[in-house]
Structure 1
Amino acid sequence: MKLLLTVFITLLFSISLTAQKKVLIFHETEDYRHESIEDGIQAIQQIGDENNFKTIVSRDSNFFTENDLNSLDLIIFLNTEGDILNMEEQTAFQNYMDSCGNFFGIHAAADTEQDWFWYGELVGAYFTGHPPIQEAVINIKMPQHLTVEHLPEPWERRDEWYNYENIGSGLNILMTVDENSYEGGENGDFHPIAWFQNYRGGGKSVYTGLGHTSESYSEPNFLEHLSKCIEFATMD
C-alpha cells in the first residue's frame, strides 16, 4: 500500500512539473535602455512564483537560435528597443510564432525592429514618439476581458504615453488613452494603449503600452494587468 501511495505521489509531482509553463523575459536593447527593466524583471518573476510558471531571463538575442523556442509557452519583450535580432534570429522567432507560439510586448516593444514588417504586424503598431511623463485617463474598452476586468473605469495613472503609427485594423482594443486628459497625444479621438490579436499560427499576441516607469512595477493595478495578460496569452 505504501509503495502504491509513493508511486501515486511521484506521478502527481511529475505531472505538476510537466504542466508548469515556461516564459521567456527578453530585454535586449540597442540604444536607449529603460531604467525600469530590472524592476519589470523582478515583478514578472514574482508573478511567476505566485502563479506557478517558470521564468527565463535573457538580454542576448542569441537565445533565439541557441535554444528550443518551442519549449516556451510565451515570449515577453520587456521594454526591448531597436534593431536587436539578426536575420537568423528573426527566422527563429517567426517560426516559433508560426508553431502556435505566444507573444506579449510591454511598452517599448513597439519601438523594436522598426524595419521588420512582420514584427510590426505581430505587435500591432509602431511607436512614433511621446510627450513627457504625466497623468492621463485610460478608458477600458473591453471591461469584461480577463486582462482589464479588475481595473477602475476610467483609470487615471501616471506613465509615458506613446503615440503610434501603422495601428493594425484587426486588433482587439483593451484600453485607450484619452488625449483630452493630457498634453502631447497625436492619435486623436482613438488612441489605443493596450490590445491583443489572435496570431495566424494559432497563438496570441498581446501588447500593453504601459510600463515605462519603475513605479509601474510596484503598482497593484498594473501588476494585476501584467499577470492577467500573461495568463491570457498562455491559455490553451
Structure 2
Amino acid sequence: MYTRTTGYRHDSLPDAVAAFRTLGDFDVVHTEDPAALETGLDRYAAVVFLSTSGDVLTPAGRDHLARYVGSGGGFVGVHAAACTEYGWPYYGDLLGARFTRHPEYQPGRVLIEDSRHPATRHLPTVWEVEDEWYDFEASPRGAVHVLAVADESSYTGGGMGDDHPIAWCREHGGGRVFYTALGHASAAYADPGFRSHLLGGVLWAADRPD
C-alpha cells in the first residue's frame, strides 16, 4: 500500500491505512518510499495506491509497476489515486480516468450497476454516501467495467451528467485493476459498507474474489 503525496494530502490517510490493515486475512505492507516500488513487487498479490497525489514514482518505479501489472499483478486505486502521475500516460490508461474537479463534500447517492461483483454485491442498489463526488476528464465507460455510478440529481455541483462512473474494474495487460473514487473522509473507513467495498475490490484485483 502506497500513500506518497506530492500534491494535496488527505487528513484521512492515517485512519485509511489503519483500516486497510484490518480489512481481511492478508498482510499489508505500507510505504511512502518511492524506492520501494522500484523492485520486488512480484512478491505481492496487489498494489494499492491510497489517496496518492501528484508525481509519486521514479522512472524506475514507473517501469517496474508497469511490468508488474503486465505480468499479472493486481492494482487498486482509491480516491485521490486518480489525481496521480498526470505526466505518465500509462498510468491514466491503467486507471481508466483522471480526476478534474469535485464539488463540496456532501451526501449523495451511488447507484449500483453490477450487483454480482465482489466490491458491490453486498451493497444496496441505491447506496447513500457522503463524499467529494469526483468528476473525471471523461467517462471511462467502454474501456472499463462500470460497477457503480454517482446520481448527480442527489447532490449539487456534479459536472458529468447522466453517465458518471464512480467505481469500476478492468483487466489491463495480464493484471486486474479496481478503482473507487470514494474514500475522502476518515468516516468512510469506519463504515462497514465502504470497508466491504474496498475488501471486495482488493480481493478481485488480487484474483482471489472468493
2:18 pairs with 1:46: no
Larger proportion of helix? 1
Hey, what does 2:171 align to over in structure 1? Answer: 198
* Aligned pair partner of 2:161 in 188, 202, 207: 188
Paired residues of 1:196 and 1:204 also in contact (CA < 8 A): yes
Structure 1, residues 140-165: CA drift from partner, whole Å, max 9, x if none? 00012221011112111111110001
Among 122, 139, 145, the residue aligned to 1:150: 122
- In structure 1, the partner of 2:144 is 171
Aligned match of 2:33: 60
Measure, in 2, the Cα distance between the counterparts of 1:102 and 1:230: 8
Q: Distance in 1 between matches of 2:41 and 2:138?
A: 28
What are the superposed Cα offsets for residues 99-152 of structure 1, whole Å, 9 maximum, x if unpaired? 111100000000000121100011110000101000111100001222101111
Q: Which of 208, 214, 217 in structure 1 is aligned with 2:180?
A: 208
CA RMSD for the aligned pairs? 1.1
1:115 corresponds to: 87
- Relative to the length of structure 1, the TM-score reads 0.85
**Which residue of structure 2 aligns with residue 22 of structure 1?**
none
Task: Tell me the SS of whatever aligns to 1:211.
Answer: coil
Contact 2:73 2:206 in 1 (8 A): no
Note the 1:89-168 alignment, pairs <5 A. Answer: 89-168=61-140
Question: SS state of the match for residue 130, structure 2?
Answer: strand
Identical positions, percent: 38
8 A Cα contact 2:139 2:164, kept in partner: no
Q: How many angstroms apart in 1 are the aligned matches of 2:139 and 2:93?
A: 9
CA contact (8 A) 1:126 1:165 kept: yes
Alignment match of 2:12 (pick from 36, 60, 67):
36
Corresponding residue for 2:205?
233
* Residue type at the aligned position of 2:14: E
The answer as to whether partners of 1:176 and 1:190 remain within 8 angstroms in 2 is: yes
Q: How big is the shift at 1:166? A: 4.0
Structure 1 counterpart of 2:181, which letter? G
Contact kept, 8 Å, 1:126 with 1:167, in 2: the verdict is no
Q: How many residue pairs were aligned?
A: 207
Contact 1:128 1:163 (C-alpha < 8 Å) held by counterparts? yes
Q: What displacement does 1:170 show?
A: 1.8
Which deviates more, 90-99 or 105-114?
Answer: 90-99
Which runs of 5 or more structure 1 residues have no equivalent in the other structure?
A: 1-24
Distance 1:146 1:124 in 2: 19
Instruction: After the TM superposition, list the runs of 4 or more consecutive aligned residues in structure 1 that deviate by more than 6 angstroms.
Output: none
Taking the aligned partners of 1:192 and 1:212, their CA distance within structure 2 comes to 17
Equivalent residue, structure 1, for 2:41: 69
Greater relative CO (CA pairs within 8 A, separation 6+)? 2
